[in-house]
Structure 1
Amino acid sequence: MGGAKKGLGRGLEALIPSLGLEESGAIKEIPVDEIIPNPFQVRRNFDQKALEELAQSVKEHGLIQPLIVTHDAESGKYQLIAGERRWHAAKIAGLSTVPAIVKEVSPRQMLEIALVENIQRADLNPLEEAEAYHFLIEEFGLTQEEVAKRVGKSRTAVANTVRLLRLPPEVKSALAEGLISEGHARALLSLPTPELQIKALEKVVKQGLNVRQTEELVRKLQEPKEASPRETPPDLKEIETKLGDNLGTKVKILKGRKGGRLIIFFRSDDVFRSIYERLLGKQN
Structure 2
Amino acid sequence: METNTTKRTDLFKVDPRNIVVMEGFNVRIDFDLDELKEQIKAAGVLNPITVIPFKDEDGNEKYQLVDGERRYRATMLAIEEGADIPYIRALKAPKDSTPEQLYIEQMMRNEGKPFSEYECAIMFRRFKEELGYSQVQIADKFKKSPAFISKCLSLLNLPQYLQDQIVAGTLTVKAAREIANNYRSPQSQVKAAKKAVAEAQEQGKATASNKEVGGFLKEEREAKAISEALKKVWAYMDGERMVDIDLVARLLDQKGSLRKAMREYKKGGAK
Specify whether residues 73 and 56 from structure 1 end up closer, same or farther in structure 2 by C-alpha distance, changes over 3 A only: closer
Matched, 1:54 2:49: no
Alignment of 1:248-259 (within 5 A): none
Q: Which residue of 1 aligns with 2:259?
A: none
Specify whether residues 102 and 210 from structure 1 end up closer, same or farther in structure 2 by C-alpha distance, changes over 3 A only: closer
Partners of 2:33 and 2:113 in 1: CA distance: 16
Q: Which residue of 2 aligns with 1:3?
A: none
Specify whether residues 164 and 202 from structure 1 end up closer, same or farther in structure 2 by C-alpha distance, changes over 3 A only: same
Q: Percent identity?
A: 25
Q: Which residue of 2 aligns with 1:197?
A: 189
Aligned counterpart for 1:159 among listed residues 150, 154, 163? 150
Higher relative contact order (CA 8 A, sep 6+): 1
Aligned counterpart for 1:108 among listed residues 95, 100, 105? 100
Q: Which residue of 1 aligns with 2:19?
A: 35
Partners of 2:198 and 2:173 in 1: CA distance: 17
Whether contact under 8 Å (2:29, 2:167) holds in the other structure is no
The residue identity in structure 2 corresponding to 1:112 is: I
Specify whether residues 106 and 72 from structure 1 end up closer, same or farther in structure 2 by C-alpha distance, changes over 3 A only: farther
Q: Which residue of 2 aligns with 1:68?
A: 50
Displacement of 1:194 in angstroms is: 1.3
Displacement of 1:158 in angstroms is: 1.4
| TM-score (normalised: structure 1) | 0.59
| TM-score (normalised: structure 2) | 0.62
Displacement of 1:164 in angstroms is: 0.9
Displacement of 1:210 in angstroms is: 5.3
Structure 1 unmatched runs, 5+: 1-21, 230-249, 251-266, 269-284
After TM superposition, the structure 1 stretch with the greater mean CA deviation from structure 2, 80-89 or 123-132, is 123-132
Matched, 1:96 2:95: no
Q: How big is the alpha-carbon RMSD for the aligned residues of Structure 1 and Structure 2?
A: 3.6
Partners of 2:157 and 2:53 in 1: CA distance: 37
Displacement of 1:30 in angstroms is: 1.9
Matched, 1:87 2:72: yes
Aligned with 1:180: secondary structure?
coil
The residue identity in structure 2 corresponding to 1:111 is: Y
Displacement of 1:156 in angstroms is: 0.9
Whether contact under 8 Å (2:21, 2:69) holds in the other structure is yes
Specify whether residues 94 and 85 from structure 1 end up closer, same or farther in structure 2 by C-alpha distance, changes over 3 A only: farther
The structure with the larger Rg is 1
Partners of 2:54 and 2:72 in 1: CA distance: 17
Q: Which residue of 2 aligns with 1:172?
A: 163
CA deviation digits over 1:57-94, x for unaligned, max 9?
3xxx3332222212346765221221222223333233
Partners of 1:23 and 1:137 in 2: CA distance: 36
